[in-house]
Structure 1
Amino acid sequence: MDAVIKKLPPSTLPTDLRAQTTPSGPRPSRQEAEAAVRVLLAYTGDDPMREGLLDTPRRVVAAYDELFSGYHEDPVEILDRTFSETGGYEDLVLVRDITFHSHCEHHVMPFVGKAHIAYMPVDRVVGLSKLARLVDVFARRLQTQEHLTSQIVHTIDAVLKPHGVAVMMEAEHTCMSLRGVGKAGAQTVTTKFTGRFRDDPAEQVRFMTLVRGR
């Protein structure tokens, strides 16, 4: 199978995708981050120096390294490698039920759910696992679900240049289920369409039918 890697110039990416990959200032040291965790532990009313919490700052910072690893990954590189041996296939390619977890940028609390991604290729396709990896890159940043949905669509559109992209995301937000109004089980659904999916309502219906036709 013919695989080609195409580098997309950074200037052709939407502004919000470029900005997310560049820190706005110097990154604090690990020691400074751990000290900040100790302050928060003390703020809760507990004693950060008691035995059970002594190693908590190190663990929290290590967890942040994993949970927010998307800031150190390039979404474009994930989609750069494509394959041309498709037999002229140009109908939709759908990967549904991609599980993800992210953190709300307003409360830094998790939201967890599933993403469904479809695109209509032009000449070339991308490895299916790359779409799942793309979701993780953006999900592992501080987010809103609306922005997360748009970033995934914009990146696929900019890099693959397909006939159209459709994305649907469903998630439960713990900032709503565990605090505030306390509505456990409430699901937030976001969608975004480009190209043929945007222009043809019948394609949107077909996408939704395939997503729901479990």
Structure 2
Amino acid sequence: MATKTDTRPGRKLYAGIEIGKGPQITRPSREEAERAVRTLIAYAGDDPEREGLRDTPKRVVGAYDEFFAGYKDDPIEVLSRTFDDVGGYDDIVMLRDIELNSHCEHHMVPFIGKAHIAYFPTDRVVGLSKLARVVEVFGRRLQTQETMTAQIAETIDRVLKPKGVAVMIEAVHQCMSMRGVRKPGVATITTQFTGVFKEDPAQQARFMQLAVDRGR
């Protein structure tokens, strides 16, 4: 599939999915961000000058630097170093139970869970830590779980060009636990398949079984 070009700078679309660095925008200064936090504290009904809240804007902005560090990284570059020598290996490579922390773009509250990733290599492989790093890059952005699942699969598919990619994410969304319907512990499961995992039901079933098997 060909890469599609978006007219907005800083965006890379592949099969309609944004997978490059975050959009190039004019970011406010740290001081402006801290003022915005003080405004939200006042909107919530408290005094931003109260002793316990006086340094909260600095801490919140610092936390945002960590929560959303994924906008600074390009997941394509994360996977750029590959190894051609697979030593005759001809089966799937899978990482299971990759811890995932992200924030929903609708309410900016966390969703927490795990990602399971597999790919069927052709003539090259990538370091296992790089797959986990791709999950981290997309997790540290504002988005939906559905979009992130597709982004991870499309990035691996584009860079490694394997026979197929499978991604499964299961996460609990705090926007359902803490507000709205207030149903704690409800897990959302999303999947995305390409190549043999999409075309061959047996390979797809095998991946799903490996994803849920905990040594039983």
> TM-score, normalised on structure 2?
0.91
Task: Report the Cα distance in structure 2 between the residues aligned to 1:13 and 1:181, rounded to whole angstroms.
Answer: 34
Q: Give, as a single letter, the amino acid of the residue that structure 1 aligns with 2:203.
A: E
Q: Give the structure with the larger helix fraction.
A: 1
Q: Which residue number corresponds to residue 125 of structure 1?
A: 125
Counterpart in the other structure of 2:168 = 168
Give matches, 1:43-58, under 5 Å: 43-58=43-58
Distance (whole Å) between structure 2 residues aligned to residue 30 and residue 79 of structure 1? 31
Matched, 1:140 2:106: no
Figure out how many residues of one structure are paired with residues of the other and give that number.
205
Structure 1 segment 14-53 matched on structure 2, within 5 A: 14=14, 16-17=17-18, 21-23=22-24, 25-53=25-53
Residues 105-156 of structure 1, C-alpha deviations (whole Å, 9 max, x = no match): 0000000000000000111100001010000000100010000000000100
Q: Does 1:80 align with 2:80?
A: yes
Tell me if the contact between 2:100 and 2:139 (Cα under 8 Å) persists in the aligned partners.
yes
> Which consecutive unaligned segments of at least 5 residues does structure 2 have?
6-11
Instruction: Give me the whole-angstrom Cα distance separating, in 2, the residues matched to 1:135 and 1:96.
Output: 12
**Secondary structure at the counterpart of residue 49 of structure 1:** coil
1:180 and 1:42 map into 2 onto residues whose CA distance is 23
Letter in 2 for 1:83: F
Tell me which residue corresponds to 1:197: 197
Contact 1:89–1:123 (CA<8 Å) still a contact in 2?
A: no
* Pairwise CA distance, 1:20: 5.0
SS at match of 2:114: strand
Distance 1:149 1:162, change over 3 A: same
Percent of counterpart pairs with the same letter? Answer: 63
Residue of structure 2 equivalent to 1:3: none
Gaps (5+ residues) in structure 1?
1-8
Q: Secondary structure at the match of 1:194?
A: strand
1:79-129 Cα shifts (integer Å, max 9, x gaps): 001112211223110100000100000000000000000000111100001
Q: Which has the higher contact order (CA 8 A, sep 6+)?
A: 1
The answer to whether the 8 A contact 1:88-1:123 is kept is no
Matched-pair contact (CA < 8 Å) for 2:19–2:155:
no
TM-score scaled by structure 1? 0.92
**For residue 169 of structure 1, what is the amino acid of its counterpart?**
I
